[in-house]
Amino acid sequence: MVQVDRQELLARLRQQVVEQHEAVYASAGDAFAHVAVREYFDLDDEEALEYCDVGGSRDKGVDAFWVDEDDRRAVLVQAKWASEPKNFSARAVQETEAAYRWLVRLGKGQGGSAAPRVVDAARTLARLRETEPDFPVHVFLIVAGDLTKGGREEEAKLIDDFSDEPAEFVVVTLDDLLAEYDERLNRESGVDAVHPEHTFTLRDDGFFEHHDEPQALVATLSGAELAEAAQKWGYRLFMRNLRYLLPGRSRGSVNAGIRRTLETPEGRQHFWYYNNGIAIVCDAYELDREALSVTIKNMQIVNGAQTTATLNHALDELQAEPVTSLLARIIAEPEEELRQNITFYNNRQNAVKARDLQSNDPVQDRLHREFLRRRRPWFYERKRGEWNALSARDADLKKKVGNRRVDNERAAQAAYAFYFDPGKARADKKNLFQPKRDGGYYEDIFSDSRTTAQFLLPYLIAEHIRAEKNRYLRSIRDIDPDRVSMTQRRLLSRQWVKFADQFLLGTISFYIEMRGGHDDKRLEELLAGDYQGMMAGAYHAAVRDLHSLFTRQERQAADTKKVFSVANYVKGNWDQAFIHLFAEWDAREAVGDPLDGVQLLSEDAREA
């Protein structure tokens, strides 16, 4: 497990804020909101940028907003930054409540003027509550420190006020945020090499064995002993669990409900009846019938991680009478494929991190080997932390590969945008590693015939687009939208670039299809040629052709007094974009080469 003390974690977090401030945001406070949302809610930078794009002078304290469709809730975040940890007063809580109340009023047309993204957020919430009046909003206050005594009193008052409406209030302290940051560092460091082992006391009438293949034990475990195991082993108990904590995503009502249950004697006594229990896979377990104990070797909690983590944080309550117990299924299965299936089917209710479940799929193994065999070898990372987990004996491999690493999650998204549908690649990213039988796209992306070149080119294009977007964000970071020059106005008119990564990739794919196709030989030619020259020209052409599309959509929305959201538009509508690109192509082809000057793709390059 990565050992990082609090001061080191805090230093790293501050550095992340500095980097986001320098690269994207005009203030350190907005940069902190991005970092906090990304780390606490386990998002990527693309998602955090979208959700935090509600800031500015008219955001009324709404630092981030989005609808979490998996958990059927809306999330509103206000973040409070301080360069040195501090205790925030009751005013921080009051301002967070005011942001929520204002957003509700704005959705009803009563909140005055606001930035377009905030208006869109408010109307989204209003529409949801028109059809589902009790649609919940989880309101988070994330502070770079803690709350004062008065702040805690105000927190308790707001939690009580929210109990009468479909809203829930959660304060995230700096320690909470650092804990999630620490978890991510551990998750990405290959800590699954550790094999947790723990012994639990059994009740004499509280267990039985299921004698089949694989062998299993169904038992009643002590909640306190499970909490002690969680304290001892930490994240290492949950490496196989796709839903471990999922901090901001699921901590809300579920974990708060579990915690409230444990606070009363009646709740602790009846916890076994209230809770669904947990599922554990292990290499083996040793059952001692005389001592009434079971020792679980290489213990992995594959379902019930939220329950376990909440028990961990309620250890004081668990020491009190009556004893808290819960049901557990303990499955002894050292065979890897079946362990993966058990994990998968215990987590089907939420497909996050399905990438990890596919990490040992034969196609993933084949691509890993074939990327290493390329003339210039690449490391194809099949699951989170695989690169970081390379041991010292692999130093030669690291030296051989250098910085040529392909993250298969980003590669999957790039491939789907390149070959299929950029809108779905952005909107439905969670299903890229789900099999088709469960509504996913895995077999389409990772077919047996898909070659390394067919992944590498889209991946490199996606990385180029990401770099260009970051360069653009830096160029507009310090522009005051209320005092702009003509040049700055033209720059700001291209803010759709913030969210159009996949559309830009799909557009460049369209160009390549029009000039030689997507067959493996053609893609290898593009990789071997003046790739950087091609990308510079292709990216410029893609921005040129898409700019007119987004400008037209924005103008049409304004004419009908609607709010046009690029972030929402690019989660679908590729069919409209594709028709637009064909029209642009035909119009430019009528007077010359649509890709004039784009190396490897222009008519001159094709003739040569």
Among 45-59, 157-171, 496-510, 558-572, the range of highest mean pLDDT: 496-510
DSSP secondary structure of 503-547: HHHHHHHHHHHHTT-S-HHHHHHHHHS-HHHHHHHHHHHHHHHHH
Q: What share of the chain has pLDDT > 90, as a percent?
A: 53
- Percent of residues in the chain assigned helix, strand, coil, to nearest 5: 55, 15, 30
**Whether this model's pTM surpasses 0.85:** no
**Highest-pLDDT range among 50-59, 245-254, 325-334, 531-540:** 531-540
Show contacts of 437-441: CB within 8 Å, 24+ apart.
Answer: 438/348, 438/351, 440/351, 440/354, 441/416
pLDDT at 393: 56
- The answer, yes or no, to whether the previous bond of 322 is cis (omega within 30 of 0) is yes
Q: Are 65 and 54 a contacting pair, CB within 8 Å?
A: yes
pLDDT of residue 598: 94
Question: Residue 356 — very low, low, confident or very high, per pLDDT cuts 50/70/90?
Answer: low
pLDDT at 251 exceeding the cut of 50: no
In this structure, are residues 36 and 45 in contact, taking their beta carbons and an 8 Å threshold?
Answer: no
- Tell which residue, 136, 141, 164, has the closest CA to residue 152: 141
Q: Residue 498 in contact with residue 473, Cβ under 8 Å?
A: yes
Look at residue 471 and give its three-state secondary structure. helix
Gap between the terminal Cα atoms of the chain:
55
Quick one: pLDDT band at residue 242, thresholds 50, 70, 90? very low
β-strands 300-303, 293-297 pairing: unpaired
Q: How far apart are CA 504 and CA 464, in angstroms?
A: 11
Residue 247 has pLDDT above 80, yes or no: no
Q: Between these two residues, 263 and 192, which has the higher pLDDT value?
A: 263
Answer yes or no: are the C-beta atoms of 33 and 99 closer than 8 Å. no
- Is residue 35 a contact partner of residue 20, using CB atoms and an 8 Å limit? yes
Q: Residue 325's beta-bridge partner residues?
A: 222
Range of lowest pLDDT (274-278, 494-498, 532-536): 274-278
Asked whether residue 267 carries a pLDDT value surpassing 90, the answer given is no
Band (26; pLDDT cuts 50, 70, 90)? confident
Identity of the amino acid at 28: A
Give the pLDDT mean for 530-540: 95
Least confident of 137-146, 192-201, 265-274, 429-438: 192-201
Residue type, 557: A
What would the two tokens of residue 139 be? 């309101």
CA atoms of 288 and 297, how far apart (whole Å): 14
Indicate whether 383 pLDDT > 80: no
Per the model's pLDDT, the better-predicted residue between 360 and 175 turns out to be 175
Report the half-sphere exposure of 146 (CA within 13 A, side-chain side).
Answer: 6
| pLDDT surpasses 90 at 61 | no
Whole-number pLDDT of residue 245? 42
Q: Which of 543, 520, 346, 527 is nearest to 450 (CA)?
A: 520
Residue 328, strand partner residues: 219, 278
Burial of 187 (0-12, 13-18, 19+ CB in 10 A): buried
User: 392 falls in which pLDDT band (50, 70, 90)?
Assistant: low
- Closest C-alpha to 538, from 464, 453, 442: 464
Percent of the chain having pLDDT more than 70? 88
* Cis-peptide into 214, omega within 30 deg: yes
Q: Is the CA virtual torsion 541, 547, 550, 555 positive or negative?
A: negative
Q: Angle CA(66)–CA(355)–CA(307) in degrees, nearest 5?
A: 65
Query: Would the CA dihedral through 269, 272, 278, 280 be positive or negative?
Result: positive
> CA-CA-CA-CA torsion for 250, 251, 254, 256, nearest 10 degrees?
-160
